[in-house]
Amino acid sequence: MGNDGGSIPTRRELVKEAARNPTTTEIKAAQQEQESHRWSTCPLSNKPLSRPIVSDCNGKLYNKDAVLEYLLPADDEDPNAAVRKVEQSENVLRGSIKSLRDVVEVKFETDKDDAGKERKAEDGREIWVCPITREPLGPGSKAVYLVPCGHAFRGTAIKEAGGDRMCLECNTAYETRDIISIIPTSEEDITKLDERNKTLHASGLTHSLKKAPGGKKRKKGADAANGSDEKASDSSGSKEKKKRTEAKSSDGIKNSATASLTAKVLAEQEEKNKRRKMENNDNLNSLFSNKDPAKGLNKNTDFMNRGFEIPAQARR
């Protein structure tokens, strides 16, 4: 613009507010808002979380009915359903859920009053609490659940429980790696879950500690005896081959000299049989003429001895 009698706007007039980095308070507020959304909304259906609730290997929470709907085959009449599932798998699930073996039902305990009635939050949702400390489970609580039972606790309650490694609700045994952080935010918790996923995948197990589909079943104690079995098979393999070779060549003859002579005779006999078969082969005999060459060639001779005949009219 310009030279038309109009005004030329300056940068100060166009840019009202200069770009700046968000403050620490703004970053924390955004993280809390995002964490609250994850604790209250199913990422698959975008509906409020309601029982039964399941979790994948990354600690995310889903409505079980939404997971079942996702795993069911798409309707043939709706071509967009398959496209939506692919988008959900890439953006939301990221390949973490392929069957119900990849999720564990999380068992939350609700807060109750003295009369035994469940208390509700302002938005009508259930208030989840730790069954040991009675502290609320939600954003910023660092809650965990155990695999395979699925009972949810405060992380501090599990640490204070000591090394018994038994669920405080149902006495189910668990390992340290099977303490799953719910909606993890710290890099340490996320790294632990990633390492656990790799270990289970290498062992042929799913998040619920069940065998992965298509995996080979192993007998109890097979892994422990695997090394000794391989060594024994290696040492006995060469001996077994020797025995088989000796038995095959000698046909049961124990004397080594007699056995070698017998093998030689059998080899010569086999060679003679091959030559005899070659001589009696009709296909080979048909390539050569059995006629007397003095009688001359005719049309009935074979193609190797048959020559080119000049027609009688051409000879005149």
Name the more confident of 170 and 91. 170
Domain layout of the chain by residue ranges: 31-202, 253-284
Name the more confident of 164 and 199. 199
Query: For 211, which DSSP code?
Result: B
Name the more confident of 90 and 314. 90
Confidence of residue 94 (pLDDT cuts 50, 70, 90): confident
pLDDT given at position 217: 52
pLDDT given at position 104: 96
pLDDT given at position 280: 64
Q: Which of 35-44, 90-99, 225-234 has the lowest mean pLDDT?
A: 225-234
Confidence of residue 124 (pLDDT cuts 50, 70, 90): confident
At residue 118, the 3 state secondary structure works out as: strand
- Which residues lie across from 106 on neighbouring strands? 53
CB 80 within 8 A of CB 74: no
pLDDT given at position 183: 94
For the cut 90, the answer to whether the pLDDT of residue 182 exceeds it is: yes
| 57-89 pLDDT, tens digit each | 999 999 999 999 888 876 655 667 677 777 767
Mean pLDDT of the chain: 77
Q: Which of 28-37, 161-170, 195-204 has the lowest mean pLDDT?
A: 161-170
Nearest to 143 by CA among 188, 176, 189, 196: 189
pLDDT given at position 47: 92
Q: How far is CA 205 from the centre of its chain?
A: 10
State what percent of residues in the chain have pLDDT above 70. 66
Nearest to 301 by CA among 287, 284, 280, 313: 287
Task: Please give the structure tokens belonging to residue 131.
Answer: 């069954």
Confidence of residue 155 (pLDDT cuts 50, 70, 90): very high
For the cut 70, the answer to whether the pLDDT of residue 141 exceeds it is: yes
For the cut 70, the answer to whether the pLDDT of residue 142 exceeds it is: yes
Rounded CA gap, 287 and 301, in Å? 10
State what percent of residues in the chain have pLDDT above 90. 37
- Which residues lie across from 63 on neighbouring strands? 53
Q: pTM higher than 0.85 for the full model?
A: no
| 212-270 pLDDT, tens digit each | 887 555 554 545 445 555 544 555 555 554 544 444 444 444 556 566 667 776 777 77
pLDDT given at position 250: 43
Task: Please give the structure tokens belonging to residue 132.
Answer: 């040991």
CB 36 within 8 A of CB 125: no
For the cut 70, the answer to whether the pLDDT of residue 289 exceeds it is: no
For the cut 70, the answer to whether the pLDDT of residue 110 exceeds it is: yes
Rounded CA gap, 158 and 142, in Å? 11
Mean pLDDT of 166-193: 93
